[in-house]
């Protein structure tokens, strides 16, 4: 038996690695493992449909909010350039309960109001969609339960309301709320829902 030297060990290790790499390569491009999926080639009708819970339209009786706000997504006009009305979508707000400084409109802007919340506050927000397409609000950066985070599966149609209830758990910071419907987030933000 020959002694295993460092040189022989490196030679054998290199040969083993090369063999493994070559074995992983396949000269037959028609083998199923090498197939590239063609867009639209999967049959979506073979997937079982998922039943989603209906949007929350009724506030919880056991949730006692410190702050209650009504937000409404509406079509409107705004003067962005002098003497020209521009069609926009905006969020209007009304403070139903809480400190007067909680809901602050942004002066000379068609953007939605600033919400000033504090850690530990229990917040209830009634979001009513008065737009011709589905929408929902995502609380960007806030730590809220999944069903309160504005996931597209909870989007509500025109005339429908979604009720958010959560406790503010974040430290002080600047957070952003914006629409989050599937495939329409960008156009809705661009139209003014931010």
CATH code of the domain covering residue 121: 2.60.40.420
Which pLDDT value is given to residue 6?
86
Does some domain include residue 142?
A: yes
Query: Rounded to whole angstroms, how far apart are CA atoms 71 and 103?
Result: 10
Rg for the chain (alpha carbons), in Å?
27
Question: Is the Cβ–Cβ distance between 169 and 143 less than 8 Å?
Answer: yes
Question: Is the Cβ–Cβ distance between 115 and 177 less than 8 Å?
Answer: yes
Q: Six-digit token pair at 5?
A: 């030297």
Segments forming the whole domain that contains residue 94: 67-191
Does some domain include residue 48?
A: no
Does some domain include residue 115?
A: yes
Regarding pTM above 0.85, the answer is no
| Tokens 């409107």, located at residue | 76
Does some domain include residue 106?
A: yes
Does some domain include residue 91?
A: yes
Does some domain include residue 155?
A: yes
Domain count within the chain? 1
Helices (H), the chain: 6-24, 185-191
Query: Rounded to whole angstroms, how far apart are CA atoms 135 and 150?
Result: 9
Does some domain include residue 2?
A: no
- Most confidently modeled range among 8-12, 27-31, 52-56, 91-95: 91-95
Instruction: Place 41 in a pLDDT band, splitting at 50, 70 and 90.
Output: very low
Which pLDDT value is given to residue 38?
46
Does some domain include residue 53?
A: no
CB neighbourhood size of 180 (10 A): 22
Instruction: Place 49 in a pLDDT band, splitting at 50, 70 and 90.
Output: low
Task: Please give the residue that has the higher pLDDT: either 173 or 12.
Answer: 173
């Amino acid at each position: 038996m020959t002694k295993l030297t460092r040189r022989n060990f490196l030679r054998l290790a290199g040969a083993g690695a090369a063999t493994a790499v070559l074995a992983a390569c396949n000269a037959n491009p028609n083998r199923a493992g090498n197939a590239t999926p063609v867009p639209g080639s999967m049959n979506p009708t073979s997937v079982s449909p998922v039943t989603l819970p209906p949007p929350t339209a009724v506030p919880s009786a056991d949730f006692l909010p410190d702050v209650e706000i009504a937000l409404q997504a509406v079509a409107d006009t705004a003067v962005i350039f002098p003497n020209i009305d521009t069609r926009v979508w905006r969020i209007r707000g009304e403070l139903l309960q809480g400190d007067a400084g909680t809901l602050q409109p942004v002066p000379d802007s068609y953007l939605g109001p600033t919400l000033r919340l504090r850690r530990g506050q229990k917040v209830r927000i009634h979001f009513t969609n008065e737009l011709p397409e589905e929408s929902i609000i995502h609380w960007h950066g806030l730590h809220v339960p999944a069903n309160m985070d504005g996931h597209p599966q909870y989007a509500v149609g025109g005339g429908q309301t979604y009720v958010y209830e959560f406790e503010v758990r974040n430290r002080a910071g600047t957070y952003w709320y914006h629409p989050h419907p599937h495939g329409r987030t960008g156009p809705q933000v661009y139209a003014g829902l931010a």
